[in-house]
Structure 1
Amino acid sequence: MDIKLQKKLLYRSSWRVCLIGTWSVLGGYGEAMCTSWGEERCTSISGGRRGKGVVLHSWLFVLLLFSALLGQASPQCPDSCHCAWDTATVHCSDTGLREIPEGIPPETVYLHLERNYIRSIPETAFSDLVHLRDLYLSHNRIDSLASGALRHLGSELRLLDLSHNQLKQASREEFGSTRAKMRLYHNPWHCDCTLQELMENLNLEPETVNGIMCESSVRGVGEGSRWEDPGSQGEHAGQSLVKLLDSGVNFCSLQRKTTDVAMLVTMFVWFFMVIVYVVYYVRQNQAEARRHLEYLKSLPSPRKTPTETDTLSTGF
């Protein structure tokens, strides 16, 4: 065979696209549609029928099928957010959000929620984001985390940024068992035993760990009664929590001592009130008894009649 003819046949066969589908229109005819750049014949699977209407319907069916599949494959992006599907990134920064937006795609890997007005994180805010790796929540107004709010985050989470918020207290129940790197600096933390136990179990980012400052702290035994100066922030206010723990400060020990002192004071007050009540009760009873005796003494004695006197003297 001629070489040019072979190349020509190879060229023509390489550009041929055959798409075989089942198409049912009122009669249920199966069609095979072939297109090529050369002269080709299209024959029907059911008997050799060929018609422009069937070909047009077949193309329409294919387009509708592809559009439906494309619509199912492309998740919706939340309002006020920008989604980059190629990197599975959702950008919701600087959009004035006051709460975690709904409808975040479950395939999200990187979620940016910085510089908004979010105040709290509900328990189910991230329950569907099992593939999330980086979660940025810095520069918001978050002051509370629901119990288990971060527990639903999957094991793929690598970074959780909660810096520059209004967090004062947190516990292990809120963070769950995540081992992601944490950014918790620039929050008005109240340093106590609960926060100490939390920090000892979290994977804090080394570069920012010294920025976790105590705006207030639990008061020790030597700081006086907690009711004397409610505005006092404690002797460790304004110091780095990590540096305090490294220097040997144990907030759990301080809290236990403070609790013991408070318990002793409470017991003393309770016993004092009981004693005062008993003394008052006894004195009231004594006063009532004296008044009753005085009343009995003030009563006139009964006079005896002559008949009663004779009876008493004679015995009859």
Structure 2
Amino acid sequence: MKGELLLLSSMIFLLQGACGCPEKCFCHSSSNSVDCSHRGLAEIPPNLPPETLTLLLQDNQIYQLPAFAFRTVPRLKTLNLSNNSLSELVPEAFHGLQHLEVLNVTQNSLLSLESRLFHFLPQLRELDLSSNNISHLPTSLGGITDGIVCGSPDTWKGKDLLKIPHELYQPCPPPPPPLPPPELVFSQARQHDSEQGELPKSPEDHNVGRHDISECMVKPKPRPANLRHAVATVVITGVVCGIVCLMMLAAAIYGCTYAAITAQHHGRASAQTSESGKMGGKEPFDSLPA
């Protein structure tokens, strides 16, 4: 009898642990949401309630997602991982999230995105990748490439991303390497200080020089020449060249006309001179007496 009671109590304890709320998180049973935001977490908290529909993990220090990271919340629909230290998204990390609809990974350090990621998220309809360092998108996004719209800047907001020239974007500089978990930093600091005999440094010293991804402003490259401007330039150039050619033709005609008139004038003058010479030669004979 005592053994059965002990087994029953153990099962109740395990069920409470499995269905309870993780440490440092706030669980709202009315909305089936778990809020673990801004808690200094370095990994996904364990013992998430299986009925969770919304999981908030923004403003933490999560730098990687292991495979099957969300296997305990198969009904999850909304996942917020913004403002963490993620440098890549392993597709297997989202295995089992057949109902996930919204994924927010803004303000991380992502460099690329694998198309296999969407094989595990068949119901995904909203993906926010802003404020990262992604230089290119995969050639295939699981058949949803026609639905990608730009969220910022305001000039391109709401427009089809595939119709925006790539030359207008200047990716942010590569981010610093992700920081190791706080526990590892403290252990290394204690070990180093014990060897050198120095006082341990505060964890704030390890964040010196870390760049804020949100401060990286996207500066577009110089806009390529507009086709209308190019056509106008060609037309103006053609008109100018035509005017110059006409002026040269007019100058040539004027020169030829002037040369012809001058030659004709000189011809008449020489003819008159020769006639006057002949007349002058006959006068002495006419003046002689008969």
TM range (shorter): 0.3 to 0.5
**Greater relative contact order (CA < 8 Å, ≥ 6 in sequence):** 2
Which protein is richer in helix relative to its size?
2
